[in-house]
Every structure is written in structure tokens, then in C-alpha cells.
Chain A
Amino acid sequence: MSIFRRIRNTFSRSKLRQEIDAEIQAHVEMRIADNVVAGMSPEEARRDALIRFGNRTVVRERMTAMDAATALDAFGRDLRYAARQLRRSPAFTTTALVTLILGIGANVVVFSVLNAMLLRPLDVPQPTGLYNVVHKQQGYDNQSYPDYVDFKNKNSTFSDMVAYRIEMAGLSTKEAAYKCWYYRVSGNYFDMLGVQPAQGRLFHASDEHGPNSAPYIILSHNFWRRYFDSDPRIIGTTVDINKHPFTVMGVAPPAFHGTEMFLWPDFWMPIVDNPDIEGTDFLSWRGAHNLWVLGKLKTGVTPQQATDNLNAIAHELARENPDDDGLDARLTKPGWMGDQFGAPARSFLAGIMLLAFLVLLAACANLASLFAARTADRSRELAIRLAIGSSRWNVLRQLLAEALLISVFGGTLGTILSTGLLKALTRWQPFPEFPIHVTVSPDAKVFLVALLLSIGSGVLWGLVPIRQVWATDSAQVMKSSGAGTIVFRRFTLRDLLLGVQITLCTLLVTSSFVALRGMQRSLHAPLGFQPQGVLIADTDLHMGGHFGASVTKIRKRMLEEVGHIPGVTSVGIIDETPLGTGGSSSLVYREGTTDFRPSNSAFGAKYFGISPGYLQASGTRLWSGRDFTWHDDAKAPKVAIVNEKFARSMFGNADAVGRRFMWGDKLSYEVVGVVENGKYDSLTEMPWAAMFLPLEQNPNSDNSLMVRSPLPPDEILPEVRQALAKIDPSLPFVFHTWSDALAFVQFPARIATATLGVMGLLAAMLAVTGVFGMAMYSVSKRMKEFGIRVAVGAQPVQLMRAALSRPVLLLLCGSAAGLLLGVIASQLLAQIVYQATPRDPLVLAGVVITMAVLGLVATWIPAQRALRIHPARLLREE
């Protein structure tokens, strides 16, 4: 009979009965027929047939009972029995459940994030074969538009290639104005990605006919829903973007949010349109590297072939155009803003995944010890079961059923909890001023992993008592009183597991301390400015329709009006806030350079446009020379203020003030001041050379007004807002304190610290329960021995040594190993957290004290129990 029929039989017992009855009935009827043929009367024939057959009910019961004894039924019985056993020992069950919920839950959360960030492809209809084209050098990820066009037209390995950049603009309708993030994309963008419109239509390559030829935008579904009430009549109407009219052509589908993983833009615009009329026209400038290029490989082409192909083109371009000197190409996984955030995020995530897995392993080690102890305590019951004829396999299957039941139950609860957590994480918008969403909702892959982890861990710790069951000699166990046969001298697998667990815990505790100290230090790091007490008002003057001379006029008015507010000590303007949205960088040349190839440059430098007064308002210290004045305008000679690093690199140790250098515009600049070094992009960066230029000589519509005041920001804010509104009510401003703005650069470090902290806490809890369980168990099993020792005069110290030497030894070795690993792991951490170093007496002391406290907590109760032994009572009980 096939297994399927057995299973079916188990569920349809009645059907089996019917079949058996029919078979018996046929038998009896055939006998009756034969009897009648042999000459009996019908009644006689029937009676004879029934007597010959015997008791039909008994036969039927014997047959159905056979089916009930199939494996499936036995498994169900095992589970029911396991559930009963577990209900009977709530302490064990609760401990195991909580441990598993934490262990598996942590893994599900980390894996979901990993899955969303690394494994899932870009969220577009046709994600296969997509790669960002970046430069070989890390961090140089952008291409210029002419290079993009050449790459796109000359390559033979990509089916298509798109370019995009992400910008901000003011979108205004008759009723309202919004500050928006949007994509400027090449015409073939939607076609290459296979995106279909939700409303209206999307633009194509054929809509592009040179600069400003396609004044259309495509709204994101979210933006359309929130601000236009999903009204389809919006299609074909006109909205103003930075005061220029654009027609709404269509709406993108709900799931599509561009080609960067976490950014959700408000609309898309053809790249040929330029709402920054005054801004430099980058479409024809080969040196302006400000685009992301995304290509789709032809089927059958490997990334390596494509890279070689692009590099050959790059080589050719470099020969033809001085601006392309040194051009090369590399492919990278899309969605991560090139490679800048991708590489460290990836290694960090992989590291955290490893840690989460190790935490689960530690949890399993704990459960294995607990389970082994429980099995040892039940050795009598097991021995009886073996003695009355149960097979060892049956006993083992029973134990495994218990482990699996708890694991799957705990895994399910853990998954439910972490799904809730992930949903919250998906809703979370870490920075109000950026449209960033981290979509990490779990998918089928995550649930599969959760199930596998549950079953895997169940089997892992459920199989630990195998040897115990196999070695059980029922006669021996039943003769002696309980489990007296367990040997404590030898180091066992259990000890090793516990040691590994303590090592892991110390590693995590060390890492969290290192990260915490780094965070603390980064708050006091020399930034090159003083963010405390500075309120920032961000805007883009183009959004108010200010161009040319109007820009200077309005800036002067801002500084004047806001500077007169009582309580404001100084005001200044910078185009892009350091450690904010990031600045630009460019190559600089020594005085006298005539050939401006990149290879002839001196070095790359960050540059910022600032107003007079910025240095004072930002708290940037001027070492020598002077600040700018309003006389350093477009007509005056070109001047610059440089930082120390710049001055040293360009001019050596000599005083830089009065010296000259050249920039990419082939003009000579005079250094009029030297300021302190600072942090410009991230807290962990190496010192950059930087230069500050007068806004007048380096026009830019980005405008961050810095207002320094000893008053609290919320007191000064309304007055600043009022003063600015008086100057131009149509300008949208975003207000924040500089300290808050720094949250953005501290974000990775904060996430790292929080994650490590949570993992460390988990590991610490597991280590405490592990050590506690082991010490407690060993004390309880040796009560009799201790009683005798006390009776013959052992001192408390001797008793303690006997009871706790093993756990304490493990604690010491594990902590030492963990600390060592922590020191090594900190090198990875240093990429994310400012000045992460374990060579810090506070960190080392913190780790040692933490582990000592953990050890004390874990061994306190067992030690008390060992000390309170009353020999007479104990011996009497036995």
C-alpha cells in the first residue's frame, strides 16, 4: 500500500472501514452461495457462513488499528506527547522560547535588510543586466554628458544606456508650492527600464530635440496621490518648476521610484531641460562629471566583456579630448549612488549577518546545554522506557519532536515580531528633508530562511542528547539514584560551546563600546567649524526666480535684515553646507600651468562659495590673511581662502597669503586667507584640501544662511522666518540647526552603534543564561559531593573553587579571545564610525568590567547555593 494511501486512510478512517466491510461482505456472500449450491437452505447457508467467518467487528478493528500505527500517526503522537512534556516544565519551555524568539528574530530582521539591500534587484520591471558605469577610482562615480553620449553610441556590449541626475527644485501650482526632489533623465530612461505609465504617457528618446525642447514632467505616483488627490485631469496641465512652465505628461506606476534604492523622487524631467537657466550648461561640457550612468547589458555579454569594451572607448576618448585625460570605466551594482555607500554598507551588513548568525548559534549552544541537562535529569524516565521495550530510535525521535516543536514555535513568534519591526522600519523616514525610505518588508525568501533557521536550530540542539540516549544502560541508571554517571572532569562539547558563546559576547561588547566611544568622540571632533548655536535656513534662489544681479541684492538684504535681529551675533551665507548635502570638488593647478590636463594638476580640492561673514558665523578659524568683502565681486581680481591642507600641499611650509594658484577655468587665483582644516563630506574622511571662493565670483543659486546666536534656536527661529518672508514671500526655506543637520553624516555610525548595541545585549543575555545554567547545573548535580566535603571540613573557598572553577575559567578564556577578536574587528568598524579604536583605556576597562559583572551575575546564585549546603540535611535526604 502506498504511503499516500496510508495518509489518506488516516484522514478517512470511515472510508477504510467501508472498504473492509465490503470485502468481508463479499467473502460471506460467496460462502453462502457455495453453501446453497451444496444443498443447504438459504437460512442455514447464511448461519454457517457467519459462524465460519467469526467475529467481524474484531477483524475490522484489527485491520484499522494496523493503519493507525503508521509513521504519520506516530509522529502526531510524538508531537502531542512533546507538547504535554513541555507544558509540564514551563521554566525550560519559557527559557527556550525566549532564547529562540530573540535568536531567530534577530536573524530574520538582519536577513530582511540584507535581502532588501543586497539580494533583491533594483525595483524596476526589467532589472536584469543593469549596471552603473563608474570610474575605477573609488568615490569618482559620475560621468559627464558628452562622455555618456560617446559611451552609449560607441559601445557594442550594452543594449541601451541611460543618464540621470538627482536635483531639487520648487514646484508650484496656482494653489501651493513644494520643495521637491526630482530626476533629470535621458529620454530613453523609461523605455530601457520597461516602465509603463499609470496615467497619461511617459517621454521617449524621440521627444528630445536639443536643449529645453521637452518641457514635460512625469509625476511619481506618491506625489500625484498626496498633492493632486490622484486626479487624472492633472495630465496635460501646466505647473511651474523654479518659475518655468512644464506640462504634466503622465504619472509613473506606484512601485516605480527611480533607479536609486532608497530615494523616492517626486517627479522626472528630461535631462535636456534646464530649470537652472543661469547654471552652467553641463550638457556640452566634458569636464562636468555630474551624471549617473546606468547601462543594460546585451544578453550573453559578461560584465567583464562590457568593462573591457567601455575601457577601450574611454582610452580613445582620452586621446581625443584633454578633458577626458585618464578616463576609465568600471561596472558596479546599481541603486547605491555608485559605489560610495555600497561598499562599506555591504561589508557592514555582511558582518552584522555573521554576528546575528553567531548569536543564533550561541542560543542553540545554550539550548543544547539546557536540553542535555534536562535529558540527564530525565535519564530515569528514558531508562524505564528503554527497559519496557521502546527502541532507542523512538526515544530519540521523542526528544527531537520536543526540540522541533519549541524551535518552530519560537521561530514563528520571532518572525511575527520581527515582521512588525520591519514594517515600522519601512515606514520610518530617517531624515525629514530627504525623501528616503528603507523598504525592507520581508518576502517569501525571508520566510523560507526563517523556517530553515527554526528547523535547523531545532535539529542542532535536539540532536545533542544522542550520545546520552545511546549510552543509556537502563539497568545501571535504574540501580543508581538518578544521573550519577555524568563525568565533570573532562572538557565536553558543552564547555566548548559555552566558551565560544562568551567569546562572541565579548566581541560584541567590545565592538559596541568601540562604536559608542567613536560616536562620543565624533561629537567633539574638530570639524573646522562650530555647529553649536547655528541655525540654518536653506533655499535655492532660483526657486524664487532670482537670477544675476538680483541674487547679490537679495543675499545682501538677507544678511542685513537677519543680522539686525536682536540676539543674532553673526550671519553668513555658503552655497553648500559642509557635512550637509556635500560640496563639489575639482582639480587645481600650480601657477604658470598652461596645459590643463588632469594629469598636470596639483591635487583635487573641495570648493565652496561663501559670503563675507560666513567664516565668523560658522566659527571657522582664520589663521592668517583676511575674510572676503563685498568688493571681491565679479569685476575684482579672483581671490580664494584656502585651508591649511591646501596651503601646505600647494605652497609647502611658506606663508600662503599673497601666493597664487590656478583652477580649471585657467585663471589665476590669489590666496587672501588661510583657515583651519575641516570635515566636508563625512566624519571619517581623511583631511581634504579645500578652498572658499567669494559667491560673487563663483555664482550658485544654492543658499544656506547661517545664523549664529547664543539664544536657543526655537526662540530665534520665528524672527528669522519673519525677516526672510519680508524679503521674498515666494522663496521656500527649510530651517534646521546645524547640529541636527549633522545627524545625516552621523547616521551610519548611529545605525552601527545601535545594531552592535542590540546584538551585544542579546549576546550578553545569552552568555549570562549560558554560564548561569552551567554553574547551576553542576552545583545541583554535585550537592551530595559538596555535602560530604563540608562534613569532612572543606572551607567555603575550597567549595567555591570546586563549584565554579570551570565556569570562571571558561569566562576568562572566552573574554580574552573575544577581546582579541574585537580589536581586529574594530578595523572594519573604523570605516563607519569616527576614530573607532579599541586602543582606548576606557574601552578596555569597560569591556573588562562588563564581563566581570556578567560573570558575577551569572555565578552569584549557584555560588550561594553551594555555600548554603547543609551536610546533615542533605545526607539524610539521600
Chain B
Amino acid sequence: MARNDLQGTLDLLVLKTLSQMGELHGYGIVLHIQKASDELLSVEEGSLYPALHRMEMSRWIRSEWKMTETNRKAKYYRLTAAGQKELQNAEKSFEQLVKGIRAILRYA
């Protein structure tokens, strides 16, 4: 069975965001997910950072301190090759999850 839970979903969202946007800080990721999902999904900001930290330790992403456009110091994250691979896995298992849930809904 595909691994899936809420945490897995957050990982998927973050990885996808980084793969689309290239380099982004935590706040930027929150904004992007909100905007891209037409305000349907809002990430609990506090739980984003432990997730980022864990993904960094798994070497899916790596970080760097940089200046923002408004001249503020922030930590920017970017996808690694391992993260790219993980993203594919996560996408696949998410699709399976969706398929499964849809099948159950139809059955009823």
C-alpha cells in the first residue's frame, strides 16, 4: 500500500512548490501553496518548519541564507536530486490514494 498521511501530503506540497518555483523561503512556500490552490489549502505555518528541517536532514532539499527583495535575511530552500526523486514517488502515491478514495466514494 502506498504510504500516505497528512505529513506525506505536506511533503508533497512543499516538494512540488520547490520544483516549480526553484528557490524559496518558508514564508514564500506558505504564500505559494495558498495562491496556487486558490486559497483552498492553507498550511499551518508553525508545522511547516519542522517539515522543512526533516526534509533537509533526509537531503531532499538544501538551504542557504540569502537576502529577500525587501532586503531581509531569510533561509532559502531548493530541491536536490534526491528530492526530485522523492517528489515523483510522492506524486505517484498521492495519485493512488486519490484513485482509491474515489473508487470507495463511487462504490457507495
CB pair B53 A33 closer than 8 Å: no
The reply on A300 being an interface residue by CB < 8 A is no
Name, among B49, B62, B75, the residue most crowded by chain A CB atoms within 10 Å (CB to CB).
B49
The reply on A23 being an interface residue by CB < 8 A is yes
CB pair B44 A27 closer than 8 Å: no
The reply on A29 being an interface residue by CB < 8 A is yes
CB pair A62 B27 closer than 8 Å: no
Q: Which of A53-61, A580-588, A763-771 contacts B (4 or more CB under 8 A)?
A: A53-61
- B62 surroundings in chain A (CB, below 8 A): 1
Known: A30-B27, A52-B45, A63-B50. A1 touches B74 (CB 8 A): no
CB pair B49 A20 closer than 8 Å: yes
CB pair B49 A55 closer than 8 Å: no
Known: A30-B74, A33-B70. A66 touches B45 (CB 8 A): no
Closest Cβ neighbor of A61 among chain B residues: B50
Rounded to whole Å, the gap between the CB of B27 and the closest CB of chain A is 4
The reply on A24 being an interface residue by CB < 8 A is yes
Rounded to whole Å, the gap between the CB of B81 and the closest CB of chain A is 16
Name, among B25, B26, B27, B62, the residue most crowded by chain A CB atoms within 10 Å (CB to CB).
B27
- A20, A22, A54: which contacts B73 (Cβ < 8 A)? A22
Interchain CA distance A835-B56 in the complex, whole Å: 75
Rounded to whole Å, the gap between the CB of B30 and the closest CB of chain A is 8
Interchain CA distance A713-B50 in the complex, whole Å: 90
Rounded to whole Å, the gap between the CB of B52 and the closest CB of chain A is 9
Known: A1-B59, A63-B53, A66-B57. A23 touches B46 (CB 8 A): no
Known: A53-B46, A59-B46. A26 touches B25 (CB 8 A): yes
The reply on A286 being an interface residue by CB < 8 A is no
Tell me whether chain B's interface is mostly helix, strand or loop, or mixed: helix
The reply on A31 being an interface residue by CB < 8 A is yes
CB pair A26 B72 closer than 8 Å: yes
B1-59 with Cβ < 8 A to chain A: 25-27, 30, 44-47, 49-50, 53-54, 56-57, 59
- A27 surroundings in chain B (CB, below 8 A): 25-27, 30, 45, 49, 74
A14-56 with Cβ < 8 A to chain B: 19-20, 22-24, 26-27, 29-31, 33, 52-56
- B50 surroundings in chain A (CB, below 8 A): 59, 62-63, 66
- B72 surroundings in chain A (CB, below 8 A): 26, 29-30
- A66 surroundings in chain B (CB, below 8 A): 50, 53-54, 57
The reply on B68 being an interface residue by CB < 8 A is yes
Rounded to whole Å, the gap between the CB of B44 and the closest CB of chain A is 7
Closest Cβ neighbor of A70 among chain B residues: B57
Rounded to whole Å, the gap between the CB of B77 and the closest CB of chain A is 10
Interchain CA distance A24-B26 in the complex, whole Å: 9
- A6 surroundings in chain B (CB, below 8 A): 57
- B56 surroundings in chain A (CB, below 8 A): 1
Rounded to whole Å, the gap between the CB of A19 and the closest CB of chain B is 8
Closest Cβ neighbor of A59 among chain B residues: B46
Interchain CA distance A30-B56 in the complex, whole Å: 22
Interchain CA distance A379-B17 in the complex, whole Å: 50
CB-defined A-B contacts under 8 Å, sample of 9: A1-B56, A20-B49, A23-B26, A23-B75, A26-B73, A26-B74, A27-B74, A30-B27, A66-B50
Other A-B pairs beyond A23-B49, A26-B74, 9, CB < 8 Å = A22-B73, A26-B25, A27-B30, A27-B45, A27-B49, A30-B25, A59-B46, A66-B50, A66-B57
